[in-house]
Amino acid sequence: MRPRKIIIDTDPGQDDAVAILLALASPAELEVLGITAVAGNVPLPLTQKNARIVCELAGKPDTLVFAGCEAPLARKLVTAEHVHGKTGLDGPALADPTMPLQGPHAVDFIVETLRRQPAGSVTLCPLGPLTNIATALTRAPEIAPRIQEIVLMGGAYFEVGNITPAAEFNIYVDPEAADIVFKSGVPLTVMPLDVTHKALTTRPRIEAFRRLGTEPGRMVAEWTDFFERFDMAKYGSLGAPLHDPCVIAYLLRPELFSGRRINVVVETQGSFTLGMTVADWWGVSRRAPNAQFMGDLDADGYFALLTERIGRL
Ligand code: RIB
Ligand code: CA
Classify residue 32 by burial, with Cβ atoms within 10 Å: 0-12, 13-18, 19+.
buried
Q: Give residue 234's pLDDT.
A: 81
> Cα of 42 to ligand 2 centre, how many Å?
10
For residue range 45-104, what is the model confidence (pLDDT) as tens digits? 999 999 999 999 999 999 999 999 999 999 999 999 988 999 999 999 899 999 999 999
Q: In this structure, which residues have their CB less than 5 angstroms from ion ligand 2?
A: 11, 13, 16, 127-128, 244
- Respond yes or no: is residue 82 known to be catalytic: no
Q: Give residue 229's pLDDT.
A: 81
Residue whose C-alpha is closest to residue 17's, from 90, 69, 75, 76:
90
pLDDT higher than threshold 90 for residue 162? yes
Atom of ligand 1 nearest to the CA of 12: 8
Residue whose C-alpha is closest to residue 312's, from 60, 41, 43, 117:
60
Q: How many residues in total does the chain contain? A: 313
In the predicted model, what is the mean pLDDT of residues 102-128?
A: 98
User: What does the alpha-carbon distance between residue 12 and residue 53 come to, in Å, rounded to a whole number?
Assistant: 10
Q: Give residue 108's pLDDT.
A: 98
For residue range 180-208, what is the model confidence (pLDDT) as tens digits? 999 999 999 999 999 999 999 999 999 99
Range with the poorest average pLDDT among 18-27, 140-149, 189-198, 226-235: 226-235
Q: Give residue 235's pLDDT.
A: 80
> Cα of 284 to ligand 2 centre, how many Å?
31
Cis amide linkage into residue 311, ω under 30° from 0? no
Are 43 and 71 within 8 A, CB to CB?
A: no
**Best residue among 79, 157, 244, 248 to mutate for probing ligand 1, ranked by most atoms within 8 Å of CB:** 244
* C-alpha distance across the termini of the chain, in Å: 22
**Pairing relationship of beta strands 264-266 and 291-297 according to DSSP bridges:** unpaired
Range with the poorest average pLDDT among 152-161, 173-182, 228-237, 268-277: 228-237
* One-letter amino acid for residue 43 of the chain: P
Report residues whose beta carbon is within 6 angstroms of any ligand 1 atom: 11, 13, 15-16, 40-41, 127-128, 153, 162, 168-170, 243-244
Three-state SS for 87?
Answer: coil
* pTM across the whole model: 0.97
> Cα of 169 to ligand 1 centre, how many Å?
6
User: What does the alpha-carbon distance between residue 303 and residue 73 come to, in Å, rounded to a whole number?
Assistant: 35
Superfamily of domain 4-310: Ribonucleoside hydrolase-like (3.90.245.10)
pLDDT higher than threshold 90 for residue 236? no
